[in-house]
Amino acid sequence: MPTSLDFEEKKAFENSTAEQQQQRPRRPSTQDTLDPEIQNEDTQDEEAVLEPELPPPPDGGLHAWLKVFGGFLIYINIWGFTLSFGAFQAYYTSTLLSSSSPSSISWIGTVQAWLLILVGVLSGPLFDRGYFRSMLYVGNFLVVLGIMMLSLCKEYWQVFLAQGVCMGLGAGLLYIPSLALVSIWFDRRRALAMGVVMSGIAVGGVVYISMFDRLTKTAGFPWTIRSMGFIALFAALLSFPALLSGSSVLARPRKARRLFDATALHDRLFLIFTCCTFFTFLGYIAPYFYIPTYARERLGTSDSLALYMLVMSVAASFFGRLGSGVVAHYMGSIVTWMLCAFGSGILSLCWISIEKESTFIVFSVLWGFLSAGLVTIPSAAFASISPDLSRLGTRLGMSWSVSSVATLIGAPIAGALLKRKDGKTNFIGVQIWSGACLMVGAASLCVLWVETVRHQKRGWRV
């Protein structure tokens, strides 16, 4: 029995065949009579800006929800590993890479996160050109290869290449297809579908951190990593049929979006938004990297409890993503984002006074809940300030490219601020750095909110 997708795919294929008979190869038929030189100039502009014509989203059905399931599995691997780096940071500092400084070790995790975002932004045109199948195959291969190679690593440069570079490149190639495929298949239910996909972040973090804690004690580091690699491989293999089913219509080349929009540099709201994401990202990642290390070295907890504090934080981020989305629906994205940044900044500064395990557990849970909005809300906030939705992807990519640098340097700077005194590690530099960056980000968001309200004149809920 034919599904709604089969009908839409057939209709899109017939439309594309008719278009190919009328045009050659990129411009609409109404421009075919133009002078070739003028046509080439106009084609380059429209090819970068116009969105490809695709069938209307079915907004449900088997194939559509398979895309959600496939994206969920992808996010378990790419973001789950990124958020669980705090477990690796603690192990590397005490065991595998004990001769390296905490700042040097944190570069491994930040390079992985930076490549995930940067390559994800740059790979957008590849998706538009119809290379999403190749991106899925190559991206998953690099992620699994990086994990397996990590199990053989003994030196810093080996870990850096395997976990930081190889896994980061693979994750970046998977970042766009997993989200774009879901966006194409949903309209009214897009927020729900995206929420399910995003929940893979918390699930992946909890699973991988728990495995790391349990298996390193019994099986050792190499076989722990290999076991995690087999889980990642299984998730990748399951994601292939889920993401590729019924998507042959997307394989045809389409018009790629522009990577750079010079007019954005003269847009005040765009510049303020980029400052907001830059400063919030500077302070966001550091606590995730140092929660286990602080619990073990400062509070004297066991290795297991230290890692489970990170698990609690990652698990709380799942509810934080849902909660911030609900609040943003009623209060506006920018207001919610500002409240999350301010609350996270205050919480990070309160971290300075924590000396008890029970208090730090509460801090870890609250941190995961409040800081979750710092990642999920910005995209929705950007849509509300963008003057031209046809350039939304281009401008958001430009902003995230700048913000990714903050992801790269935030944790290493925090690590460089760690000090040893009387045999104990002093974390006050990390705490003040994270809190100060988030408070600057909150102040920038306040400016963005004022400018947006003044510019749009639609009330305070923006």
Domain match, 229 and 315 both: no
**For position 382, what pLDDT does the model report?**
78
CA–CA dist 295, 357 (Å, integer): 7
Q: How many domains does the chain have?
A: 2
- Structural domain boundaries, residue 74: 57-248
For 405-422, how does the pLDDT look when each residue is reduced to its tens digit (9 = 90+)?
888 888 889 888 888 777
Cβ neighbours for 43, distance < 8 A, ≥ 6 positions apart: 26, 27
The answer, yes or no, to whether residue 164 has pLDDT greater than 90, is yes
Chain-wide mean pLDDT for the chain?
A: 80
Tens-place pLDDT, residues 15-71: 434 443 444 334 333 334 334 444 444 444 444 444 445 566 677 778 888 888 998
DSSP per-residue letters across 313-330: HHHHHHHHHHHHHHHHHH
> Does residue 30 lie in a domain region?
no
| DSSP code of residue 97 | T
Residue 387 covered by a domain? yes
User: What pLDDT does residue 375 have?
Assistant: 82
Per-residue pLDDT tens digits for 323-377: 887 888 788 888 999 999 999 999 999 999 998 999 999 999 999 999 988 887 8
- Contact present, 426 and 117 (Cβ < 8 Å): no
At 199, which helix (H) or strand (E)? helix 190-218
Picking from 227, 248, 269, the residue at the C-terminal end of a domain is 248
Note the pLDDT of residue 5.
Answer: 40
Task: Report H helices in 50-189.
Answer: 62-83, 85-91, 102-122, 124-128, 132-150, 156-159, 167-185
Tokens of 49: 């800006």
CA atoms of 375 and 334, how far apart (whole Å): 13
Residue 404 lies in a domain: yes
pLDDT of 3 > 70? The answer is: no
* Residue 357 · residue 299 · CB < 8 Å: yes
Same domain, residue pair 68 and 158: yes
What is the pLDDT, as a whole number, of residue 321? 82
Looking at the structure, do residues 266 and 403 belong to the same domain, yes or no? yes
Instruction: Count CB atoms within 10 A of the CB of residue 443.
Output: 17
**CA geometry: angle at 353 spanning 352 and 357, to 5°?**
105
Residues 129, 235, single domain; the answer is yes
Same domain as 347, residue 442: yes
Quickly tell me which residue has 């006074």 as its tokens: 353
From the list 2, 5, 4, 12, the residue with the least C-alpha distance to 252 is 12
Confirm if 175 and 164 have CB atoms less than 8 A apart: no
CA dist., res. 284 & res. 288, Å (int)? 8
Instruction: Look at 33 and 299; give whichever has higher pLDDT.
Output: 299
Least trusted range by pLDDT, from 154-158, 162-166, 294-298: 294-298
pLDDT at residue 320, as a whole number: 87
Q: Is residue 333 part of a domain?
A: yes
pTM: 0.75
Are 380 and 279 members of one domain?
Answer: yes
Same domain, 224 and 83: yes
Looking at the structure, tell me whether residues 244 and 269 fall in a common domain: no
In a domain, 5, yes or no: no
CATH number, position 326 = 1.20.1250.20
Rounded mean pLDDT of 270-292? Answer: 90
- In a domain, residue 44? The reply is no
Residue 241 and residue 383 in one domain? no
Q: Are residues 79 and 211 in the same domain?
A: yes
**Cα(337)–Cα(377) distance, integer angstroms:** 6
Residue 132, domain member (yes or no) = yes
424 and 297 in a common domain: yes
Cβ atoms of 242 and 351 within 8 Å: the answer is: no
Last residue of a domain, one of 228, 248, 268: 248
Based on the fold, state whether residues 286 and 196 are members of the same structural domain: no
Confidence at residue 15, expressed as pLDDT on a 0 to 100 scale: 44
Q: Give the residue from 220, 248, 276 where a domain finishes.
A: 248
The more confidently predicted of residues 25 and 403 is: 403
Instruction: Tell me whether residue 20 is in a domain.
Output: no
| Token code pair at residue 95 | 């065991």
